[in-house]
Amino acid sequence: MISTEQHTKLVKRLSTQLGFSYCGIAKAEKLEDDARRLESWLNKGMHGNMHYMENHFDLRIDPTQLVPGARSVITLLCNYYPEQQQELNDEPRISKYAYGADYHEVIREKLRHFLSLLQDEVGEVQGRGFVDSAPVLERSWAKRSGLGWLGKNGNLITKQQGSFFFIATLITDLQLEPDPPFIQDFCGTCNKCVEACPTDAILPGKVVDGSKCISYFTIELKDMLIPGEMQGKFQNWMFGCDVCQDVCPWNRFSKPTTEGGFTPIPEIFNLTTKDWEEMTEESFKTIFRHSPLKRSKFKGIQRNLKFIKTT
């Protein structure tokens, strides 16, 4: 009979084997405090037009609703910090997480493989993997499993390598030894992200008004018109925004990813503003068929491009 300790060591070993940077484990239980914070955030309308965040509230705060019999929540961090970055010029800027292949596709495959290897070693194990595409409070679980703290910009920050990570979650009925939660906060009196946010989306109390974030306007907002009061504030960000992470002192410890799937698409660095303006929908679909940029679709990218070039 394999012990809980041995199962836990197996999970940690598999996470490293599959290329995840960090792995933390928490007991699967209802997130009472997070439920109250989420409810307050939604009631204030800080999710903007992201109405999907209002759905499945009970599932978001209770992992046993997602995986019946769930005992453990495994949180995995996958580094996406690129070795090469866009130059700071007048060309349209793209968030670093979108340089390479769509992280949903890359990490979802890793999670499938993870669960399969776990079942091969242990036997009958029920579980589901999630990566930013289901009602899971990933950052809360990451903190509970000891991986880091939530910064004033709402991002999970690790003391070792900063915040340029994707967070994946594997909820399973396997009994595992939980890691101690991360209870310290190393932001201190630093307000760099708050002061640098171009649209004043970062509020006191570690609250981010999602309806004011540049990432919201350039990715989530499906209206063909971006509010006029945002004119002149986008700093050439055409897809997403990295300002709050770029100014974070902890990201001086970021290290380039070794995940091949996140190798930048060459066009990210080579396309000029003119190239973007003259791009056809067919070309866009071909070049970015595996890219996160397809989430905004061609019309959304063209809308964003026109908006930042008229400021």
Q: Which residues are catalytic?
A: 132
Q: How many CA atoms lie within 13 A of 103 on its CB side?
A: 22
Q: If phi over 0 gives left and psi between -120 and 50 gives alpha, with beta otherwise, what is residue 64?
A: alpha
List Cβ neighbours of 268 (8 Å cut-off, separation of 6 or more). 86, 94, 98, 99
Per the CB < 8 A criterion, the answer to whether 103 and 138 are in contact is: no
Provide the angle, in degrees to the nearest 10, between the axes of the packed helices 4-17 and 103-122. 140
User: Distance between CA atoms of 173 and 122, rounded to whole angstroms?
Assistant: 12
Q: How many CA atoms lie within 13 A of 258 on its CB side?
A: 6
List Cβ neighbours of 231 (8 Å cut-off, separation of 6 or more). 307, 310, 311
267 to 85, 92, 271: CA distances (angstroms): 12, 12, 5
3-state helix, strand, coil in the chain (%, to 5): 45, 15, 45
Q: What is the DSSP letter of 161?
A: T
Instruction: Taking the CA atoms of 147, 169, 294 and 21 in sequence, report the sign of the dihedral they define.
Output: positive
